[in-house]
Structure 1
Amino acid sequence: MIKGKELFIKYGLKKTSIDEIVNACGIAKGSFYTFFNSKEELYYAIMKQEEAFKDAMIQEMINSDRNPQELLHDLFTKSFDMLESNPFLQRVIRKEEYELLIRKVPKEMLESHSESDNESGAELIAKWKSNRLLVDEEPDIIIGLLRAVVLISLHREEIGTERYDKVKTLLIKCVAEGLIQK
Structure 2
Amino acid sequence: MDIKSNIFKCGKILFSTKGFKKTNIKEIAGMAGIGVGTFYNYYKSKEQLFIEIYIQENEKLKSRLIETLDLDQEPVKLINQLLMENFEAIHANPILKEWYSQDFYKELEQYYRNESGKNIDSIRGFYLDLLKNWKSQGKIRGDIDDELLPVFFDSLISIDTHKDEIGIQHFPQIMHYLIEFIIQGLTNHHK
TM class by shorter chain equals 0.7 to 0.9
Partner of 2:62: 54
Number of residue pairs matched?
Answer: 180
Q: Out of 27, 30, 47, which is 2:34 matched to?
A: 27
Q: Distance in 1 between matches of 2:68 and 2:172?
A: 26
Distance apart, 1:83 and its partner CA: 1.3
Distance apart, 1:127 and its partner CA: 2.1
Q: Percent identity?
A: 26
One-letter amino acid of the structure 2 residue matched with residue 172 of structure 1 = I
| Aligned 8 A contact 2:21 2:103 in 1 | yes
Distance apart, 1:25 and its partner CA: 1.4
Partner of 1:145: 152
Instruction: For residue 91 of structure 2, give the secondary structure of its aligned residue in structure 1.
Output: helix
Q: 1:107 to 1:96 in 2, by over 3 A?
A: same
Q: Which one has a larger percent helix, Structure 1 or Structure 2?
A: 1
Partner of 2:25: 18
| 1:92-171 correspondence to structure 2 within 5 Å | 92-93=99-100, 95-103=101-109, 105-109=111-115, 112-113=118-119, 119-136=125-142, 137-171=144-178
One-letter amino acid of the structure 2 residue matched with residue 87 of structure 1 = P
Q: Distance in 2 between matches of 1:115 and 1:140?
A: 16
Q: Distance in 2 between matches of 1:110 and 1:169?
A: 32
The structure showing larger relative contact order (alpha-carbon pairs under 8 Å, at least 6 residues apart) is 1
Q: 1:106 to 1:34 in 2, by over 3 A?
A: farther
| Aligned 8 A contact 1:135 1:181 in 2 | yes
One-letter amino acid of the structure 2 residue matched with residue 41 of structure 1 = Q
| Aligned 8 A contact 2:58 2:121 in 1 | no
Distance apart, 1:24 and its partner CA: 1.1
Distance apart, 1:54 and its partner CA: 3.2
Q: 1:151 to 1:31 in 2, by over 3 A?
A: farther
Instruction: For residue 112 of structure 1, give the secondary structure of its aligned residue in structure 2.
Output: coil
Unpaired stretches in structure 2, ≥5 consecutive residues? 1-7
CA deviations 1:36-74 (Å, max 9, x no partner) are: 22112222222222222236646886x832111111111
Unpaired stretches in structure 1, ≥5 consecutive residues? none
2:10 paired with 1:7: no
Distance apart, 1:82 and its partner CA: 0.6
